[in-house]
Amino acid sequence: MTTTTRPPAAVGAPAPERGGTAARTLRTALAPVVWGTTYLVTTELLPPDHPLFAAAARALPAGLLALALSRTLPRGSWWWRAAVLGVLNIGAFFPLLFVAAERLPGGVAATLGATQPILVAVLAVAVLGERWSRWRLAWGGVGVLGVGLVVLGPDAVLDPVGLAAGLAGAAVMAFGVTLTKRWGRPEGVGPMAFAGWQLTAGGLALAPLALLEGVPAQVDAGALAGYLWLGLAGGLVGYTLWFAGIRALPVTATALLGLLSPLTAAALGALVLGETLRPLQLAGFALALLALVAGQLAPRRAAISGAAPSAPAGSPATAPPAR
């Protein structure tokens, strides 16, 4: 049998990194910005009471499309690794997110999700062997405070099951992000193919739950547009950018970019739905943005203390020390 080697420019193959750290950070930041549109699309376009169907529709078609475009399947141990990452980042995270959203006010659920950078900072020490990054840990706490000021209201109800689901969702996603950094990505596999593996695995895990929940009785043009947006922009494009960023950037700094998701949702609520942001909310917005930007920077003291140089991006065994 003749083996045909694809040219380096084939769809799904890794492209050379373009731009510096700032350019890669901005590209990665587009993912949580797009994810921040999910609440608006879900409430305004999708059929109600079918969150698991929406999650499966977001993940599985996008994953299969990515596999078709990249024509790249896992090999060897990457079959089970892709399954684990897909379940953590998508298959388990989505249901927990929806449980939290249904049992808690949106602001409480968003604030719990904003704790993810703090969990990643802790897991980076245990899983990646990084040094404690007090700088990013502190800014992670500031980010949670800022998001809380933006989205929490006086009518927030702390349902125990909802709180457990929200924290579990943040923990599952944090562990998935950290493992993604730890294992890297196989040589010759691009971010689209890598995203496709995980979206497909997560979508297959969600499919039985979606069938148990039931299929919406009617899907109109608006709902179809919403599903396409969630799948193509939020799934295929968003996760391709996100996993490329995890490979190239410090893991805790990348996790801090997730603060853009609840901030985008709040901004769209004001711009599209006519919701009013009070002065305290605007102050929280500025505080969260400050935490996000500061978390991308390495403190000068760490930079001159002789920290070991970073390993090549995506190296599974020698992740760069936190700075």
> Is the separation of the CB atoms in 136 and 253 below 8 Å?
yes
* Residue that has been written with the tokens 């190239």 in this structure: 248
Indicate whether 305 belongs to any domain. no
pLDDT score of 299: 65
Q: Looking at residue 156, what is its pLDDT?
A: 55
Q: What is the pLDDT along the chain (323 residues), one digit of tens a residue?
A: 444 444 444 444 444 455 578 889 999 999 989 988 887 888 788 888 888 898 899 999 999 999 999 999 999 999 999 999 999 999 998 888 777 766 765 556 666 777 788 788 888 888 887 777 777 778 788 888 888 787 666 555 567 887 888 888 889 989 999 999 999 999 899 999 999 999 999 999 999 999 998 889 888 999 999 999 999 999 999 999 999 998 888 888 888 888 888 888 888 877 887 777 788 888 888 888 888 888 888 665 544 333 444 444 444 433 333 33
- 112 falls within a domain: yes
30 within a domain of the structure (yes/no): no
Domain that holds residue 278: 38-299
Provide the total of helices (H) and of strands (E) in the chain, helices listed first.
16, 0
Task: Please report whether residue 206 resides in a domain.
Answer: yes
Residue at 103 is within a domain:
yes
**Is 10 inside a domain boundary?**
no
* Number of domains, the chain: 1
Q: Residue for token digits 């993940």?
A: 59
Give the torsion sign (CA, 319, 177, 293, 156): negative
How much is the pLDDT for 44?
A: 85
Give the residue among 278, 245, 272, 236 at the shortest CA–CA distance from 37.
Answer: 272
Residue 311 lies in a domain: no
